[in-house]
Structure 1
Amino acid sequence: MKHTPHYESYLKILEEELIPAMGCTEPIAVALAAAKATEALGATPEACRVEVSGNIIKNVKAVTVPNTGGMKGLEAAVAAGIVGGRPDLGLEVLSKVTKEEIAEMAQFLQTCPMQVLPSGGDQVFYILVTVTADGHTADCEVVDFHTNITRIRKDGKILFQNQAGASAQTAQTDRSVLSVKEILEFADTLDIQDVAPVLEQQIAYNTAISQEGLKGGWGAEMGRTLLELHGDHLPTRLRAAAAAGSDARMNGCELPVVIVSGSGNQGMTASLPVIEYAKAIGADHEALLRALAVSDLITIHQKTGIGRLSAFCGATSAGCGAACGIAYLDGAKAEVIAKTIVNTLGICSGMVCDGAKSSCAAKIAAAVEAGLDGYEMAKVDLGFVNGEGIIGADVEQTIVNVGRMARQGMRHTDEEILNIMLGL
């Protein structure tokens, strides 16, 4: 079977994006930086300084950090990384915290002075954790995305530096090769064994946390409530599956998820409705994997122009991706899938991100519903057309338009959301 021109790049993009993470990825990235800085220091810190961009503050403020005994916020994430972090585990840095270490975290917060400051400059994603003890200082800097450690120093001496420096997006495979047309061709022609390891992990991890969320007791219980309110209908099950995963994850569940575009919520939104739909129609495993590749890559394609963090709710992109994965399972033509994207973005591109917290589950449910509505419209050749608001001449121009709106147009919105959250 002939592969698409950028076949290897598409595989690498999936491998780079679909990685396991425990807990909301922003506090976990803070915990990872704290763990790396403490490892470099070689001692228990006597004081800490944390400099982060506004979007990090926004996405850490109200979310429960896993394996902390229910603590929330930047200080909790730093303490968790210092006391119980395993720096070699990446975004699963808090996965092996002991009960004794959880107790130590609370004590550490009481005894260690910790200064939290907004970072200077205009970087959307920035974390710098500095720790001191016995006259020595160490720091760890993370820039642009969650695992991109750009520098680790001790006493001013550089122990590690990413050669790409502060612009280390270049460390990842070029996302500009993505297009809706080639994504669909890639899914049609891919060798399943090339994607099976990452996609099967996505199925296993994200299904497990969704099932945990449906048991109830997590946050606002959006997933369970949807089923109770609307019954066991397929569209409701698709929304509830994704929302329930977020219910659990935003409220301290210790199960890992496989993320997409740096976000566990987006990883669950892009995958769980597709998994649930495949189960309902009796699709075989190979068809499910191809559909997940479509959903994940279309989500990533949309997020490339938006960036990792913004005032634009990432669930919108992932709900759109999920609808495309469902359409692919139905055997929809490329024209229908393209129109599904345009319709979905026309419906709910106004949903803002006001940080990670319990209401993310409700936004996920809304995004999946918008995707399903967009698909139903596309199936009967109905949709929004060029010149109507942000809708462009075709699907690619529409994606570019939304990226421009989110990355540039919503920057002031992002600032005001943060000011509101901080009571300024």
Structure 2
Amino acid sequence: MRFTVKDILEMEVTLALGCTEPVAIALGAAAAATLLPEREFDSIEIWIDPNIYKNAMAVTIPGTGGLQGLDTAAALGAYGGDPKRDLEVLESVDEVIIAKAQQLLAAKKVKVNLREEVGLHVRTRIIAGTNSAESLIIDLHNNIVSLSLNGVQVTDSPLLASVKGKNGKRTLAELEEWLRELTLDEILELTNTLDEDDLNFLQIGVNHNLALAEYGLQHGSGLGIGKAIDRLIKQKLMVKDMSSSAKRLTSAAADARMGGVKLPAMSSAGSGNHGLTAILPIWAIKDFIDHDRQTVLRAIGLSHIVTAYVKAHTGRLSAVCGCSVAAGAGATAGITYLVGGDVHHMEGAIKNILEDLAGVICDGAKAGCAIKLNTAAGAAVQAALFSLHGVNVKDTDGIIGDSTRKTIQNMGELSHDGMVATDKTILKIMLEKQMTRENKQGK
């Protein structure tokens, strides 16, 4: 079983409008709604796994003027989402749809259920008159595995993963199984097979993520970290160098995206913020070194592959911040490649950043993610430059292994087995905060 770099890009790198957790909820609702003859709904009920719940609680939904919430995402998707647009399902949402969704929410006709079982899971049931439609998404944010109308399974919808896969395409699970067996040398060899079409696709990703960064820098969206870095550099309180440039661009894009700007991000391994981290630090440092377009884009391609490689070990969603450990590892590998490092330097850079950031938790998607992307971007530059100068974490240290593969395997074990209780505690704290806010508001 062998995949190509084109398979990786096709399956792991795609446009996503808004945080992919509320987007998955909206997609599930939009898919179920397409089965119903009526477009006025009596009720919507969703069943969500803990990680989707955690990541969709507090993040702003794009193009809604600041609206948040799992119930909001479901209502918006049902009334106006276009499921054929996949992770850009909310592109079609407008003021009319927002108003309808808010009416349904005000009438308390959207119910959210939190499942105890872990693993990406979004089940949606919509009732409209005498009809009931259901959808089920599992494993991946856009992996619709089941649709039914009035209890009867729908088997021929083009939205279904089984129908999409009838052309013989292999699954992401198969890709991840293959990725987990690769060495860093083999990953680097894949980068050499990128052709001009692949490079053009990678450039499209750069353009989309740069548009988010430029918006964040201009408007100070979200927390306004990118714009604050701009001011600090102008005030000579920070120096414009590779690290600050990477932080500035990456955090500005996260500011815009987490602030609900209606611009898509080129995602990586199922996450828009991963995509920002995998791409923008590399693009930011290109002006500090001699380079050509192909080398920069190949470095970004390498970053996507390494990001997918780490996520194949750690899982799609967990208590570990994937922007730090997965996309951060991808970015530092790409930066090392861009500045002329070899595979040994890349291995050292990945070990450096994982020793640095392995303990960063994921406490849900929200404006504050821009701080973590800021840290990951700077750490990616630092880890690469340290490795180039022979500063490498030793294999005897903590979770660091004697190879990139072993280090990532250890990271996966930490993510799956070591932080289950951490994840539950994070969600418990977030739910308690939410309940306190609702009580104060008299809900």
TM-score where L is the length of structure 2: 0.89
- Superposed, which structure 2 residues align to 1:65-214 within 5 Å? 65-111=61-107, 113-120=109-116, 122-160=117-155, 162-163=161-162, 169-170=172-173, 174-187=178-191, 189-214=192-217
Match of 1:308 in 2: 316
1:254 matched to 2:262: yes
Which residues of 2 match residues 218-233 of structure 1 at below 5 A?
A: 218-229=221-232, 230-233=238-241
Q: Give the alignment partner of residue 296 of structure 1, picking from 290, 304, 312.
A: 304
Report if the CA contact (8 A) 1:209-1:255 is conserved: yes
Rounded to whole Å, the distance in 1 between the matches of 2:134 and 2:378 is 44
Tell me the SS of whatever aligns to 1:252: coil
The correspondence of residues 222-371 of structure 1 with structure 2, limited to 5 A, is 222-229=225-232, 230-316=238-324, 317-371=326-380
The separation in 1 between residues aligned to 2:115 and 2:132, in whole angstroms, is: 19
Q: Structure 1 pair 366/197, CA: closer, same or farther in 2 (3 Å)?
A: same
- Asked whether the 8 Å contact 1:45–1:112 carries over to 2, the reply is no
Residues 68, 105 of structure 1: 8 Å contact kept: no
**Counterpart-to-counterpart distance in 2, 1:191 and 1:403:** 28
Residue 26 of structure 1: aligned partner: 21
CA distance in structure 2 between the partners assigned to 1:108 and 1:114 by the alignment: 7
Distance 1:84 1:69, change over 3 A: farther
Give 1:251 deviation, angstroms.
Answer: 1.2
Give the structure 1 partner of residue 397 of structure 2.
Answer: 388
Cα distance in 2 for residues equivalent to 1:343 and 1:192: 30
Name the SS for the 1:311 alignment partner: coil
Per-residue Cα deviation, 1:194-246 (whole angstroms, up to 9, x for no partner) = 41243122111111111111113311111111232324333101111111111
Paired AA for residue 312 in structure 1:
V
Q: Spell out, residue by residue over 1:330-376, the C-alpha distance to the aligned partner (whole angstroms, 9 max, x if none).
A: 11111111100011101111000000001111011111222222222
Q: Is the partner of 2:349 in helix, strand or coil?
A: helix
Identity among equivalent positions (%) equals 34
Q: Within 2, Cα distance between the matches of 1:204 and 1:21?
A: 14
Secondary structure of residue in 2 paired with 1:302: helix
- Per-residue deviation at 1:116? 0.8
- Once the two structures are TM-superposed, the CA of residue 77 in structure 1 deviates from its matched residue by 0.3
Unaligned runs of at least 5 residues, structure 1: none
**Residues in 1 aligned to 2:194 and 2:406: alpha-carbon distance in whole angstroms:** 30
Shift of 1:162: 4.5
CA RMSD of aligned residues (A): 2.1
Matches within 5 A, 1:44-83: 44-83=40-79
- Are 1:375 and 2:384 an aligned pair? yes
SS in 2 for 1:355: coil
Q: How big is each residue's C-alpha offset from its partner over 1:131-184, in whole Å with a ceiling of 9 and x where there is no partner?
A: 0011211111100111111101111111136459xxx75375643354311121
Give the aligned partner of residue 437 of structure 2. Answer: none
CA contact (8 A) 1:224 1:244 kept: yes
Q: Does the 8 Å CA contact 1:68/1:76 hold for their aligned counterparts?
A: no
- Aligned letter for 2:214? Q
What secondary structure does 1:153 align onto? strand
3-state SS in 2 of match to 1:346: helix
Return the alpha-carbon distance in structure 2 between the equivalents of residues 210 and 407 of structure 1: 33
- Residue 9 of structure 1 deviates from its aligned partner by 2.6
Secondary structure (helix, strand or coil) at the match of 1:142 reads strand
How has the CA–CA distance of structure 1 residues 292 and 162 changed in structure 2, closer, same or farther, with 3 Å as cutoff?
closer
Contact persistence 1:46–1:112 (CA under 8 A):
no
Residue pair 1:211, 1:244 contacting (<8 A) in 2 also:
yes
Among 30, 35, 54, the residue aligned to 2:30: 35
